[in-house]
Chain A
Amino acid sequence: MSTFSSPDTPEGQPVRPEDGTRRSFMKQAGGLLGLALAPPFVGPAERLAAYSKTVEGVTSLQLKINGTVRSIQAEPRVTLLDALREYLDLTGTKKGCDHGQCGACTVHVDGRRINSCLTLAVMQQGKEITTIEGLAQGDALHPMQEAFLKHDGFQCGYCTPGQIMSGVACVKEGHAGSDDQTREWMSGNLCRCGAYPNIVAAVREVAGKA
């Protein structure tokens, strides 16, 4: 089970035990008790399957976003992108194609950049999710945000949150060593306005200072 505190509990608090409401949503018949109660006609596969956890319909999902655990009531089919935008009002992360083809939805999960449109929120419980809203420290912008401003790394700005999240990861991965390498490793983020030269300049500047 997830090791989350309830949404309003400060971090680092002991894990809240499963409450009754929650349990009723979870067909979580694992553990010795579940096995002991399994009727004799249940085959071995089903007994082992009993160790698996199933989520069905609207349930409470806990997501740790930008350091804070947030709770949503959602079906398993809700993508991480829709959870952020539609359930948590974190609309900085953009929906472009919704099919992994544009990078507008890029966020970091456990420090790695991913496309939030092609993963389910239910699968990202227990992970550290960082969105564009989590980059700045109070009023102090992240160096990548500063660099995008300085180099005019956008026109309409729609792809920009994804570009910035990707740029931060690109530098951290060590894939911004040259303009060519930066272009290749930023290729998962499309820009309809064609701000590419300025985006490369911004990423390169941050890489140079890193």
Chain B
Amino acid sequence: MNNFSYTQAGSAKAATGLLKDKPQAAYIAGGTTLLDLMKANLEEHPQLVDINTLPFKGIEQTKDGLRIGAMERMSDVGENKLVLEQFPAISESLLLAASPQLRNMASIGGNILQRTRCGYFRDAAFPCNKRVPGSGCPALTGDNHNLAVLGTSESCIATAYPGDLSVALAAFDAVLTLENQKGKQRQVLVKDFYLLPGKTPQKETVLEPGELIVAVTIPMTAQARRSTYLKVRERSSYAYALASAAVGLDVQGGTIRAARVALGGVGTKPWRSPEAEKALVGQPATEATFRAAAAAAMRGAQPRKENAFKVELAQNTLVQALMKVAG
């Protein structure tokens, strides 16, 4: 890990001001992504700005929905009573992630900005378009068993966000509040926050340099209350998803009134599926409907040698999740 100076930010303004003066500096929250990457010399920063002092805290009901401060920890949000009641899928996406120790450390903002687990990205000895633009992508023909089949490009096929929370946030129309270096705030839907790799896989989100994630707000809906997050892994715990599904249904008299579907582990970004939702709404809540929705979700898939299994795995994961909430 390179040497760096460490600054505890006195305020959001001070924090963004520090990054304005030194664009190569980075914010540190829990440190579980940042220090992991810095130790492997995959990221280098001359200065770390500790934002744990910022007042981006609290989990509270507002007129727009449940507002969760970006500095809240995964464990606290996952076990919060309101989150458990109103957003089972979000609670599950948090509590099925990482380990209890990591969840005690990791912040919501940091989780949203975690980096890919593509093995080539994480090994500086290999070329990688995401790490070194233009250097190539060995994953296209190499080890890609844990990489994406939806939203890929010839430049990059990584699940840029390999985690769980943002999949559930994308499904339930969560909105991020961001604050820039001028102290100005703006709102961005989580489903629009992440970018497809295209020709610029190094650009992963719409976050501007130095911009802070302040909070995430999730609207309270019937489908969010009746929701689940199903995660399929190579071992039963403490592993990233090979495929996952965040789903919510509003079913009345056996007919689906509203549906929310997002997939994890299979897209280059948290994969909201309007195709699946369209195949669900107005239909009876039966396995046949769910199968049709799952097929619709994966229609555009571009499997490669080692990740072709994900096309079927994702469909089965989605069907199982829908069966569970249809109950």
Contact = CB atoms under 8 A, between A and B. Distances in A.
A144 to B, nearest CB: 16
B36 A99 contact: yes
Interface in A47-77: 48-57, 75-77
Interface stretch (B59-67, B101-109, B129-137): B101-109
Contacts of B7: 52-55
A184 B36 CA distance: 23
Interface string A14-48: 00000000000000001000000000000011101
Chain B interface, DSSP helix/strand/loop, else mixed: mixed
Given A49-B18, A77-B4, A120 B31 contact: yes
Contacts of B168: none
Interface stretch (B9-17, B191-199, B214-222, B262-270): B9-17
Contacts of B2: 77
A130 to B, nearest CB: 14
A173 B95 CA distance: 14
Contacts of B40: 99
B102 to A, nearest CB: 6
B39 interface: yes
Interface residues of B, number: 44
A76 B11 contact: no
Nearest to B239: A187
Contact of A118 (B17, B20, B32, B49): B32
Interface stretch (A109-117, A135-143, A147-155): A109-117
Contacts, number: 129
B5 A52 contact: no
A52 B9 CA distance: 5
A123 B105 CA distance: 12
Interface magnitude class on chain A: 35 or more
A56 to B, nearest CB: 4
Interface in A73-126: 75-77, 79, 98-100, 103, 106, 112-115, 118-120, 122-123
Given A79-B35, A183-B237, A49 B21 contact: yes
B48 interface: yes
Nearest to A112: B104
B17 A48 contact: yes
B48 A76 contact: yes
Interface string A173-203: 1010000000111011110000000000000
Interface of A: 30, 44-46, 48-57, 75-77, 79, 98-100, 103, 106, 112-115, 118-120, 122-123, 166, 169-170, 173, 175, 183-185, 187-190
6 contacts: A52-B49, A54-B6, A57-B5, A99-B39, A118-B31, A166-B101
Given A54-B5, A188-B99, 11 more contacts: A48-B13, A49-B10, A53-B8, A55-B5, A56-B5, A76-B5, A77-B1, A100-B99, A103-B99, A119-B35, A120-B6
User: Nearest 8 pairs between A and B by C-beta?
Assistant: A188-B99, A45-B17, A51-B10, A76-B6, A187-B237, A56-B5, A54-B7, A187-B238
